[in-house]
């Protein structure tokens, strides 16, 4: 019998046998069902396939408290990240302790059953503070916790019936046991994992080569394709980029596998969690980067975590986990030597070239050349397919201002000017059109006005995604709703907020539709600027004054703004 390394022995899974699964499926049909969110599906998949070993299900209240406070479960196992089943109060009321529930995906397929042993209302601010370092909604996971996750947690063991269905990149997705079997078959003993949520450029390739060489190990490129941070490059594009660079690596020493993890962007704790998950996948070494899994800036504009916090935490626990940490070397390109060096080994007096993430995004957006020393032509080609230059992308122009401020008139003029230029379809989403076609059943309460704006935002984001131009001209009085629409649109293209800055006195003097008169007489309730507030935009892309300016000039100001942003060719 060949010598078996313990880290490649099979790991326990939570699935029952095929026969039991068929029986369970039928029985589970009568249970109360919980429809899992995308994040919960990611968590459930890694619970069931052993990626979250030693967890046997969603954390109980005692384990949750212990993990939040001490990074360990009550029996002492190291586990830094709460994995909880959050549900609404309404659903929680339908569930008794000791009851089995069916966990279903979004199509209604039963993936697992769970015995509910615990039900509690967590202290989310405490969780944010302890796990993510601050109760600050600028952190994507804290924002998720407070604004998307349910208010009640359920805990209990999970019985796996079937894996979540993936229709994409099936051959590249490996469970921990599939990876372990692959390493056994290949005779790999030492394997270093590279965790990433970004496309790989030359510096990453140099860094991974070096890490594998120093650890005398094989390399597993192990990108996360579950959920990353809003605004990240989508995983379809990223995987095409990984596949494009794979042949730059020696094939017998490198493997690519996709990890369906929902990242929390939790910095040091997340890095430790990543190391544990990699250990469960049969790896012996793990590369931890500077500010590993950091979410960017907090509300004060500072980094959430120090650059080396993650490395220190992982180093402190590496022996207990049984995985060795490999330092992430910051690689830079030295012009004179025409090759990459770790930043601390750059020969004196040489020129270091670097392109930041922000600069890369700018070059992609504006169609500017990206040099071969920075990235591979194959990767740049994939990125450009997803992000054509700005003058070919869709965008949304969003006018906001009082009723009668001139929004619709300017929007109409802008539409005609853009149509005259040609090249992209233009859609006008103006108040009356929208009220008739999208929102005929809505009134003018705050809730209904918000819903109307969200619908406009949804349509605008779809138009933008498909390369068209959307022009919106609602009153849109509330800043929070405008921010939500901006986020919807900006995941697909540029959002230009134009504040039509006409004073309420001037609007009332014009009173084209006679609405201000009715509002003053109290015949229209909740009228913006009279009996309902208007949040003046603080930093719109453009403010236009209509008093003493003609419509043509106002529309032309918008055109100039679009030109300066590279959205239309001058």
Residues acting as catalytic residues: 196-198
Residues 6+ apart with CB under 8 A from 433: none
Cα atoms in the Cβ-side hemisphere of radius 13 Å centred on 467? 10
Q: 206 and 200 in contact (C-beta within 8 Å)?
A: no
Strand (E) or helix (H) holding 97: none
Q: 276 and 269 in contact (C-beta within 8 Å)?
A: no
Residue 87 φ/ψ, nearest 5 degrees: -135, 170
CA distance 403 to 400: 9
Residue 419 φ/ψ, nearest 5 degrees: -70, -35
Residues 6+ apart with CB under 8 A from 293: 195, 263, 264, 265, 266, 267, 270, 271, 274, 310
| DSSP state, residue 17 | P
Q: 238 and 199 in contact (C-beta within 8 Å)?
A: yes
For 519-569, give the DSSP string: HHTTSSSS-BTTTB-----SS-SEEE--TT--HHHHHHHHHHHHHHTTSS-
CA distance 475 to 407: 8
Cα separation of the two ends of the chain: 73
What three-state secondary structure class fits 352? strand
| DSSP state, residue 542 | E
Peptide bond into 422 cis (omega under 30): no
Closest by alpha carbon to 160, among 28, 279, 256, 252? Answer: 28
Q: 497 and 503 in contact (C-beta within 8 Å)?
A: no
Closest by alpha carbon to 112, among 161, 164, 155? Answer: 161
| Structural tokens at position 83 | 């994995």
Q: 137 and 297 in contact (C-beta within 8 Å)?
A: no
Put residue 514 in one of left, alpha, beta given phi > 0 → left and psi -120 to 50 → alpha.
left
Longest dimension (CA), the chain: 93
Give residue for tokens 């907090």: 298
Q: 262 and 296 in contact (C-beta within 8 Å)?
A: no
């Amino acid at each position: 019998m060949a010598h078996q390394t313990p880290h490649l022995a099979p790991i326990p899974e939570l699935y029952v046998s095929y026969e039991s699964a068929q029986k369970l499926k039928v029985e589970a049909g009568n249970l109360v069902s919980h429809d899992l969110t995308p994040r919960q599906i990611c968590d459930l998949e890694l619970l069931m396939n052993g990626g979250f070993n030693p967890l046997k299900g969603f954390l109980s209240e005692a384990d949750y408290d212990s993990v939040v406070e001490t990074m360990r479960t009550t029996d002492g196992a190291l586990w830094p990240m709460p994995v909880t089943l959050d549900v609404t109060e309404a659903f929680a009321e339908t569930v008794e302790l000791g009851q089995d529930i069916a966990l279903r995906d979004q199509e209604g397929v039963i993936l697992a059953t769970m015995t509910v042993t615990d039900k509690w209302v967590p202290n989310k601010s405490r969780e944010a503070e302890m796990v993510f370092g601050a109760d600050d909604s600028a952190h994507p996971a804290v924002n998720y916790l407070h604004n998307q996750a349910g208010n009640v947690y359920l805990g209990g063991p999970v019985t796996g019936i079937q894996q979540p269905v993936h229709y994409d990149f099936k051959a590249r997705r490996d469970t921990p046991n599939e990876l372990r079997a692959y390493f056994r078959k290949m005779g790999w003993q030492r394997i270093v994992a590279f965790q990433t949520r970004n496309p790989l450029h030359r510096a990453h390739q140099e860094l991974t080569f070096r890490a594998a060489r120093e650890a005398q190990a094989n390399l597993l490129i192990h990108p996360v394709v579950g959920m990353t941070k809003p605004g990240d490059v989508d995983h379809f594009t990223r995987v095409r980029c990984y596949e494009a660079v794979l042949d730059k690596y020696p094939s017998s020493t490198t493997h690519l596998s996709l990890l369906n993890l929902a990242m929390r962007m939790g910095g040091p704790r997340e890095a430790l969690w990543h190391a544990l998950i990699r250990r469960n996948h049969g790896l012996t070494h793990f590369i931890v980067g500077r500010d590993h899994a950091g979410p960017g800036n907090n509300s004060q504009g500072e980094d959430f975590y120090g650059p080396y916090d993650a490395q220190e935490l992982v180093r402190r626990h590496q022996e207990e986990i049984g995985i060795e940490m490999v330092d992430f070397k910051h690689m830079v390109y030295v012009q004179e030597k025409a090759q990459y060096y770790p930043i601390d080994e750059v020969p004196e007096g040489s020129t270091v070239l670097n392109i930041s993430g922000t600069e890369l995004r700018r070059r992609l957006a504006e169609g500017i050349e990206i040099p071969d020393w920075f990235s591979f032509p194959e990767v740049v080609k994939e990125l450009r397919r997803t992000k054509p230059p700005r003058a070919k992308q869709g965008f949304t122009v969003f006018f906001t201002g009082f009723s009668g401020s001139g929004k619709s008139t300017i929007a109409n003029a802008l539409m005609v000017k853009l149509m005259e230029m040609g090249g992209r379809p233009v859609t006008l989403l103006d108040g009356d059109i929208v009220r008739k076609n999208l929102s005929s059943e809505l009134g003018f309460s705050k809730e209904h006005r918000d819903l109307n704006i969200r619908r406009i935002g949804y349509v605008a984001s779809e138009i933008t995604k498909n390369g068209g131009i959307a022009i919106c001209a609602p009153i849109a009085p509330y800043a929070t709703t405008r921010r939500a629409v901006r986020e919807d649109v900006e995941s697909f293209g540029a959002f230009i907020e134009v504040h039509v800055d006409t004073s309420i006195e001037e609007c009332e003097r014009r009173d084209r539709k006679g609405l201000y008169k009715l509002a003053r007489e109290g015949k229209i309730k909740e009228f913006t600027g009279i009996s309902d507030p208007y949040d003046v935009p603080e930093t719109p892309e453009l403010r236009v004054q209509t008093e003493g300016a003609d419509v043509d000039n106002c529309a032309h100001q918008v055109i100039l703004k679009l030109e300066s942003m590279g959205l239309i060719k001058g």
